[in-house]
Amino acid sequence: MSPPPPRRLIGYARVSTEDQLNDAQVDELKASGCRVVHQEHGSGASRSRPVLAKLMREIAAGDVLIVVRLDRLARSVSHLLEVIEQLEARGAHFRSLRDPIDTSTPQGVFSLQVLGAVAQLERALIAERTKAGMKAAKARGRLAGNPGLRERRPEAVRAISAARQRAYI
């Protein structure tokens, strides 16, 4: 009986827009042992990700797909679980560096399901609060939303981006 093939650590880095850089994610993935890092630009809300789709077709038994954070892979529990099921069907595993997720262990699978559900609840609550705020603004005759973002002021865009990063951490 031959020994199992060595497992490959395969990184996946995604940013939302073309003008963002994957550099920090790529560095962290390489530092964790990933020799190959697939990079993609695209919204987390969209399931149409050609690089991820190609990676999923090519991943082999024993391989480990690694991301820096869960939100780099999926924005909904259903999408996250779909990817994990595809990996499991191929005999591969999933690991998130900053979340306690490693699907090669039962505890990691449980953590994945709990964290995914909490993240989805938080997004739903944020969307609900946003809609309520926009409705209230409209009722008062004001234009809803952040004026700095509407006007695409760089300082407003940076502030929102930094706030989202802090909220995630």
Known catalytic residues are 16
How many residues are there in the chain?
Answer: 169
DSSP string over 105-166: SHHHHHHHHHHHHHHHHHHHHHHHHHHHHHHHHHHTTPPPS-HHHHTT-HHHHHHHHHHHHH
